[in-house]
Amino acid sequence: MKKVPVIAGITFVILLCLFAFFRYTAKSYSPEGNVEFTDGNLKVYVFYNRPSKKGREIFGKLVPYGRTWRTGANEPTTFETNKDLKFGDKELKAGKYSLWTVPGQQTWQVIFNSGIPWWGVSFNKEANREIVDDALIIEVPAVIENKEFEQFTISVEKVSEGSELILIWDKTLVAVPFSVK
């Protein structure tokens, strides 16, 4: 009878060690990145993981066209704003969202979702996004660049009439314009 708690404790420690090992291994291949953007009273914070190209064909192959992508690696990318934002004619309330995309050859859907799962994909390798929690979906053009970007990069930049959330990887650049409501 005394063996049951000991075996349960040992099993828990082993599982905890395995989880830590797999998490560390995943992070070594796709390190964490973050973006802190401030413009007046607006504050935007983006947390994401940065996979590398490593000679692979990215869009259309590793990241299939027409399927939801966690927009980075490991955990889902998160986007946090302290102000209500306008994306075209759509509004995103202040708050924290997971950021998903559906890449296409000419356009991408960019999705802000109010649910933030603990990992970006499920065990069957599908995006862990719950569609019912989508707060905003916007479609934007994808631009093919001459320059190749080895590591996935997100930035937020000030432009003449607001700001842009910029996603760059391989030779693809996606700019998502927004402004404070």
What is the pLDDT confidence band of residue 131, given thresholds at 50, 70 and 90? confident
Which carries the bigger pLDDT value, residue 37 or residue 126?
37
Cα separation, 61 vs 152, in Å, equals: 15
Report yes or no: 82 and 88 within 8 Å, Cβ to Cβ. Answer: no
**Mean pLDDT across the stretch 155-170?**
95
Cα separation, 72 vs 21, in Å, equals: 20
Q: How many helical (H) and strand (E) elements, i.e. helices and strands, does the chain have?
A: 1, 9
**Mean pLDDT across the stretch 158-168?**
94
The DSSP bridge pattern shows strands 107-113 and 85-87 to be unpaired
Q: Mean pLDDT over all residues of the chain? A: 87
What pTM does this model have?
A: 0.82
Q: How many Cβ atoms are within 10 Å of 3's Cβ, its own excluded? A: 7
Place of tokens 């391989």: 170
